[in-house]
Chain A
Amino acid sequence: MTFASVLSIMISCIFVENFVLVKFYGICPFLGVSRKMGSSVGMGLAVIFVMTISSLITHAVDVFLLIPFEITYLRTIAFILIIAALVQVVEMFLHKFVPALYSALGIYLPLITTNCAVLGSAIVISQKGAEFGFIEAVLYGVFSGVGFMMALVIFSSVRERLEFTPCPKAFEGLPRTLIAAGLVAMAFMGFSGLKIF
């Protein structure tokens, strides 16, 4: 594990293959929670937190259970159950031991179960095969979460301005949000093809 490979995973997860703006994982929370800067930060932190742990656990289950017993066709079921259970456990743990963090992330945590970014990262890691060890899997989870949060934060600041601008009636609400998202995604196209080495 060299520094260069850490950097390469980081750049590719955050910019080149940004989960939201390039790969379309987690569009629902992206559109739903990005109205205010504060809530995007909350959702982003909750996703980073869950995604880091879930990448580690799903990778372990994949390597030690599903692959040796040749039941990889159960991946989807196994992964979603792990994520659902994990979100529950994390919620209970934070509620009991870190109440401040719990009240900050509170309402966003249960939503994460059906956030396709979390299941998406677990599946992508499982498809990478043998080149991905545990460290790579965890890094992938962390940085994909960071990329998700960054997209949310950038977009929420675009959106806070958008709310008060006049526009044709048919474009109010979702359509103009989508068009603004398209423009932000266009900016991210500039990163495509970027490679460290």
Chain B
Amino acid sequence: MSKPRNPYSFPAMLKRGIITENPVLVQTLGMCPSLATSTSVSNALGMGLSVTLILICSNVMISLLRKLIPDRIRIAAYITLIAGFVTAVEMLLNAYLPSLSESLGIFIPLIVVNCIILARAEAFAAKNTVYRSFKDGIAVGLGFTFALVLISSVRELLGSGTLLGYPVLGASYPDATLFLMAPGAFLVLGFVVAGFRKITSKKEGK
């Protein structure tokens, strides 16, 4: 590490986005998609990477336009820009990954109101350079993807005994469908957040 102290170096930003300031597990943003689209690891990956792509685009664009957008209408301007990118991703998924787009359903257009994207626009992209905002988009997007994959692997493993569709727990495993349904989502997310806190607080304590 040549510049360990620089808070805007890429490794430092990645560490913050994925571990110490993870958008879902620490900041509790973007709860709706993390509960709804974490039924299987492949759904979670699809959702996570879609959000990452949109986040990178919106961060870069908002950072580019940050001196042009009047302060009073900035939120409306951000939402319009984000909605544009979401529509583009929606159409791309529809054309190239129709099965994924089918299973994510309404949660693709709902990325527009995902608080993570608006929060990064307001808290980071509106104040920082384009290159930094680009890196921030990657870091926070990967943090979101990481959290989603973590939750979904627990749910898929317990719910249907598979990981990414491959059987892990063997054919005799009775499917615990509860974990694939709404209550299971809340329960698993609760335990995952608690476990994540326990592990990270231990590390900090050393």
Q: In the complex, A183 Cα to B187 Cα: how many Å?
A: 8
Stretch at the interface among A3-11, A26-34, A96-104, A133-141: A26-34
Cβ A179 vs Cβ B182 within 8 A? no
Stretch at the interface among A47-55, A57-65, A69-77, A156-164: A69-77
User: Which residues of the partner chain A approach B87 to less than 8 Å between Cβ atoms?
Assistant: 73-74, 76-77
Main SS of the interface on chain A?
A: helix
- Which B residues are within 8 Å of any A CB, using their own CB? 28-29, 31-32, 35-36, 75-76, 79-80, 83-84, 86-87, 90-91, 106, 109-110, 112-115, 118, 178, 181-187, 189-191, 193-195, 197-198, 201
Interface residues of A in 116-173 (CB under 8 A from B): 116, 119-120, 123-124, 127, 168, 170-171
Tell me which of B112, B189, B201 contacts A119 (CB under 8 A). B112
User: Which residues of the partner chain A approach B106 to less than 8 Å between Cβ atoms?
Assistant: 120, 123-124, 127
- Give B91 Cβ to nearest chain A Cβ, in Å: 6
User: Which residues of the partner chain B approach A114 to less than 8 Å between Cβ atoms?
Assistant: 79, 113, 115, 118
Cβ B35 vs Cβ A76 within 8 A? no
Cβ A120 vs Cβ B110 within 8 A? yes
User: Which residues of the partner chain B approach A24 to less than 8 Å between Cβ atoms?
Assistant: 32, 35-36, 182, 185
Cβ B84 vs Cβ A77 within 8 A? yes
* A side interface size, CB within 8 A: 42
Given contacts A84-B79, A116-B32, A182-B190, are A123 and B84 in contact (CB under 8 A)? no
User: Which residues of the partner chain A approach B185 to less than 8 Å between Cβ atoms?
Assistant: 24, 182, 185
User: A80 interface residue, CB < 8 Å from B?
Assistant: yes
Given contacts A76-B83, A81-B80, A182-B190, are A170 and B182 in contact (CB under 8 A)? no
Cβ B80 vs Cβ A21 within 8 A? no
Cβ A21 vs Cβ B112 within 8 A? no
Interface residues of A in 171-190 (CB under 8 A from B): 171, 174-179, 181-183, 185-186, 188-189
Cβ B186 vs Cβ A119 within 8 A? no
